[in-house]
Structure 1
Amino acid sequence: MIEKNKAAAIEEMRFRLLIDAVVDYAIYMIDPGGIITSWNSGAKRFKGYEEAEILGEHFSRFYTADDRAAGLPQRALDTAIREGRFEGEGWRVRKDGTNFWSHVVIDPIIDPNGQLLGFAKITRDLTDRKMAEETLKQSEQQFRLLVQGVTDYAIYMLSPEGRVSNWNQGAQRIKGYLPEEIIGQHFSIFYTPEDREIGEPARALEIATREGRFENRSWRVRKDGTRFLAHVVVDAIRGDTGTLLGFAKITRDVTEAHQAQEALEKTREALFQAQKMQAIGQLSGGIAHDFNNLLTVILGNLEILQKRTGDDPKIGRLLENATQGALRGVSLTQRMLAFARRQELKTESVNIAQLVQGIMGLLRSSMGPGIRIETQFPEDLEAVLADTNQLELAILNLATNARDAMPDGGSVLITAQPQVVLEQSQATLTAGRYVCLSLIDSGEGMDEHTLASARDPFFTTKGLGKGTGLGLSMVHGFIEQLGGRFVLKSEKGRGTHAELWLPVAAAGATVKPLYPAIEPISVPRLSVLVVDDDSLVLTSTSLLLEDLGHRVVSATSGAQALKLLEQNEIIDLMITDMAMPQMSGAQLAHSVRLLKPDLPIILATGYAERLEGFAAQLPRLPKPFTQLNLVEIIAQSMK
């Protein structure tokens, strides 16, 4: 009997040692009331409690506060008693307050008489698995959203037999089928009848199955029967055991790219010339309205100027207005002509700050919204000797190069500083005073090889048809001809610094008048409402009308003009610009006709626009116009 008891004790000790040696599972006992009565090494590792700290405590302390409030610990024990076992997963709390995801098994311990002695509780830490599952779930959800959000590619799955099992937005857009129309259909429906007859769909799946991937370009058919050239990729999808689960199919419509490539290959040289002409057309069209406005300013102010004599205070205003318009108009004209013929240099005294400011609008439109342009000029900067038109063209060339070097946007700084070259200087410049005009960009920069060749004629890094390679060489030749110097500084990844060294102009330079004087014109006095969003044109037109003896009321928008009319401003005639933001001249004319049906209206426009309805019947004043044109059109309108 003693030996038997001894053997039982040894066996129990072995069992306890075995349980205590398990570190991957928390194995412990609780009494019928839930009090912990034993504790193994795994329980200590998972939950952080020493055996002396936890024995005698209630097992509910491992549950979260929300689970305790919901009575989950007691329900687990009740389930174990009622069903003979409780098993579940949930969040539990360690001694240090951190949570872990656990898998729990609770078995009731019943003696031979059927009396409950307590419970055996086994807990496993599955936090890593839970996190992996959550990550995978989130990743799968994001992937589904990503695939569904793609509209440039048709992405869908095929069963091993080739039937469509899902459908993304790109597939719907490219092929025209709704998901409910196509899911379950065989993908061969997208093939042309010719390809189906020769078994092309089956061949694609066979190659994808054998080689893991099939890729080609061929014609496909949309729901509406139209054809498109598709770039197709089919990838076989296999399970862990190598079983074929289906195919992933990606299709892209490359019809336009294919057609463009064909056209490029067939007419490369012709297309190159066409692109150059298209650039001229785009430039001309983009500046047409402003160009005509500027010429209106020039003709109008100069027409008045030649009538004024003496110390009339308005002379200064007229000169400033006309000069601004003339310089901008001439620069635009010369810029367009520069594409077609070579110009002789016509040197004159040039104020660099005013010149740059005059072309700032064109610079901003050429550079685009993604590039910030800054200017820094000293107030006492001396004028330089240069050809105004060619200097503007040089700045535009440099700005265009800077733009191309900043495809993702950036900044350009235009600045100038006075410089002095001494006799003993090693520079190639003649001794004297200069102004160094700098254009500094934050672009990609150039490596040493590119920088060394940048000013060579016909050298370009822009690819075929995207540049002549003459831009920088023209700048170099122009500056050298002036007696200056063109300097390029650049490093890869550090942008480019272009310097134009220009000789300072001699003092006392004068500007000759552009137009001879004309005889003054007399017209009947009227109260005229002039509407134009361009302040220069508005001022010029108003001055022309006032010079004719008219009373002028001006407005910078259609809304402002309507407000004046609603306030019963005395108006005999309205002259409105056609191209204005928010409310065009035609729209304004319609609104005015409702307010004042008998008010004569003249539309001023720089475009040969086609108008309809009431606006088409109104007299039109083409820009640019002269004072004589105004007299004639007013006389026609007031009949």
Structure 2
Amino acid sequence: MTKTDPIGGLMTTTGASGTWNWDIVTDSLRIDTHFAELYGLGSQAASEDLPTRSFFQAIHPDDRARIRIAVAGILAGAELFSKEFRVVTPDGTTLWMHGRGQSHLDANDEPIRFTGLLVDVTERKRTEEHLRIAQTAGGIGTFEYIDGYATATVSRQFCRLLGLHPANVLPAQTINSVLQLDGPSLIPGPREGCIPDSLDAEFRIVRKDDGALRWIARRGEVIREGAGYRLIGVIYDVTQAKEQEAALRDLNDTLESRVEEEVAIRQQAEEALRQAQKMEAVGQLTGGIAHDFNNLLMAIMSSMTLLRKRVPADPALYRLIDNALQGAHRGAALTQRMLAFARRQDLTSERIGVDALIEGMRDLVERTLGPAWSLDLSFQTNLPQIVADTNQLEMALLNLAVNARDAMPGGGIIRITTEYRRVAEGDIAGLAAGAYVGLSVIDTGEGMGPETLKRATEPFFTTKGVGKGTGLGLSMIHGLAKQLNGIFTLASAVGKGTTATLWLPVAGGDVRGAVSVAPKPELPSHAQRLKILAVDDDSLILMNTAALLEDLGHEVLEGNSGEEALDLLRDNPDIDILITDLAMPNMTGIELADHATDIRADLPIILASGYGDVPTGAQQRIIRLGKPFGQAILAQAIREAMGRIKSQ
């Protein structure tokens, strides 16, 4: 089919077409030879699986974002695609294409293929533009220039568009004197010295009369006449269209930017989820290892305690046993850090005055730091108490002080400050609204960069040298804060030091005062002989627990499982106390306690575990006993259990 061009007598024909088949699942593209020719890819491309970027690489840069958004809609589930856009062939020619396509869905309504037809509509677009020009003839200026002449024949509208004085004939030099910000000369030829290939161009001008900045489009024909040529064309104002095009381009850029932002947010969320899953896995592994290690340490500590009582009074032997006990206690402290990171250590709930606790630790901290570092304590007056575990909080404070010291190898001042703050929702990231006491340890040392700061609380991450840190200190403090319904924050910059802060919720009520410290357990000078049922699935732990109890003067029955313990309990109604492990197969310590109270409602029960996640609904008669425990702690738990029975 042919159409007559209303301007200049140009002819146009229906363009060629090609097809594409985009496999969404494998992200590959198949095209036919016509598509390959339209895109300038070469006929061999039609026999290959192409990367899907081939669909976009030839699209004009000004149209590419718009088409990417439309294709993204198809890949997200939209059904139809119908867009016109420009492509640039390898030789630099710009062609107009009309792409029409649709998505194909699988049984789950998920897109699996994107197929369509690409049609060359270049000539139609030109014809449409000429028609638009003809329909707005009032805004068109015409010109004619013959090669070799110094003047051009122009219309009055031509002059008005350029801001020139109306005339029928103007010197080519006058026309070209209109300031152009880009593009070729208005009347090509006199300056170029060669026959132009095309008159089609768009450029900005500064009008001669009022200095207005306008966009002008030029269209026409180059007619060759022997050795010379003649130019016949039109100009018209396309400022409004250009402004709309710019607005659309800005909109496309905004949409593309939003798409990129959404992709980035999704990637960040996925990365955060992966990190959370990784940390959860590390926490589970750490907690399990620490629990098993606790059992081993308990066997060592209890055996060494009993051995020290029974060996001859030899200072050399005592020194070896004490060294073994000291090593076991250090191992127990390490397991507490591991369990704190996993948020599974057994915490003792005590009302603590933070300022009194710090003052009580001053000598210990100063001796630990050494003479090159001085301690500056600054407390807010009349601080409310918090509920925490004294030993764990002391360990956390000492750890932070040592970290501050290591950040200032040449010495310096370490500040420890406290403050009371009512926190609103969102004031401190990750902290719920409420009343908190903040405990900060501040140094002026090396500081940390963003990447180091981001990883500082990861387990086993350390910037210290080999053998100088386990990488569990800050992760332990982080776990401790979370378990106490608080938060641990770090603020640092390279060369400006670090501020480490523990935010812990205040105790219920408005009680203000000194630290409440539980008395240290002591072995009884004499005690009532009791009949005690000890239960643990680990025979090594059971044997050592029984030995500690017998050394205290008690009669001990041993059970390796919950079922065996219940049988012993039914056969021995005179049992005074049940001591059971928490984590046992088939029947846990909590389940054993439930069944035991069905048999003996008044039976005191001691539950031994290295974990801190014992169910809160356990009976009031249950006494918690943290592993690993020594003989003094065990004796204290027995006294407390019997004391509760007497008080009821």
TM-score by length of 2: 0.29
